Amino acid sequence: MLPGVRGMVRETHLSPAHLVSPLFVIHGRDVKNPVSSMPGVFQLSVDLLVAEAKHTVSLGIPAVLLFGVPAAKDPQGTESFARDGIIQRAVAEIKSACPDLVVITDVCMCEYTDHGHCGILNTGGARRPVPSLPEDALLNDATLEVLERIAASHAEAGADIVAPSGMIDGMVRAVRGALDRAGHAHVPVMSYAVKYASAFYGPFREAAQGAPRFGDRRSHQMDPANAREALREAALDVEEGTDFLMVKPALPYLDVVRLLRERFPGHPLAAYNVSGEYAMLKAAAANGWLNERAAVLETLTCIRRAGADLVITYHAKEAARWLAE
């Protein structure tokens, strides 16, 4: 068979245009901190981040997803919405250097709170504690107020898409409303609609320095055993006005990607190939147990085959390079 015939009947295509590259930004100048559990991934200061953004554009990757490491953490996560916060500064600098690069920002509090949870806790931060709730309960409405400020501040700095990731009830409606009121009706929302309470986020928590100091996120992230619940979560976010849907992690949840693709044909769908998925492949490749290039391209192609329009992946740059060859 002529290779051209294989190409003609190929059902799924993978190109750099389908990839989103996640980046971690930290205060300082000329800082490039390796993340030990994610070889090839670094926390970068804004100056180096801008160079990285330019490189990303040169590879044909259309978008980056930014995560910030703040200078200081507190119970209210106040740097998350500060005008001169790490993300706000990074977005402004990237957009002025690379106006055509799509800058997506993670809208969550966990990297900014000293307790490491994704919102305002009943003690430890609440302005109006609720006596009937346990001390470590996450206060939904107080958290939504902060998420609104974060999203508006990101849009103000020039973010092209905001991605609320905390799975807080009502977060999409709150963020959408805040953007509209602040004059950013054109900024789309990419909701982490279906986010599982997964063991595969481990390396990310080193990269973003956002591990919970106590407890876990099982109260607001989904049980890996459930798929029908994913449809309900996604339907709620669609009703609240999300423009994009996302499934996270990707590989153990390709059936969920497929379900969402079929149930929500009108919504662009992203799958997040998370830190632990990246670390697994890197570790096996480093031991010579897998052919990295083949395994990465197969993985990303299969995530697309399951139904994802976009793949958010730490392999983005290498994959783009391989795809160009």
Residue ranges binding ligand PBG (CB under 6 A): 106, 108, 110, 165, 201, 204, 217, 274-275
Say if strands 42-45 and 32-34 run parallel, antiparallel, or are unpaired: antiparallel
Least gap, CB of 179 to ligand PBG (angstroms)? 19
Q: Which of 75, 86, 83 is nearest to 24 (CA)?
A: 86
**Token digits of residue 231:** 């449809």
Least gap, CB of 106 to ligand PBG (angstroms)? 5
Least gap, CB of 198 to ligand PBG (angstroms)? 8
Assess whether 95 carries a catalytic annotation.
Answer: no
Strand-pair partners of 25: 44, 68
Q: Which of 263, 227, 242 is nearest to 190 (CA)?
A: 242
Taken in order 33, 116, 199, 164, the sign of the CA dihedral is negative
Is 45 or 273 the residue whose CB approaches ligand PBG more closely? 273
Assess whether 195 carries a catalytic annotation.
Answer: yes
Is 162 or 291 the residue whose CB approaches ligand PBG more closely? 162
**Token digits of residue 96:** 């002025």
Contact 243, 275 (CB under 8 A): no
**Token digits of residue 118:** 């994704």
Is 104 or 238 the residue whose CB approaches ligand PBG more closely? 104
* Residue of 73, 248, 282, 317 marked active site: 248
* Residue of 73, 195, 282, 317 marked active site: 195
Residue number, nearest CB to ligand PBG: 204
The HSE-up count of residue 230 (CA atoms within 13 Å, CB side) is: 27
Is 101 or 108 the residue whose CB approaches ligand PBG more closely? 108
Least gap, CB of 249 to ligand PBG (angstroms)? 7
Taken in order 182, 186, 192, 194, the sign of the CA dihedral is positive
| Catalytically active residues, by annotation | 195, 248
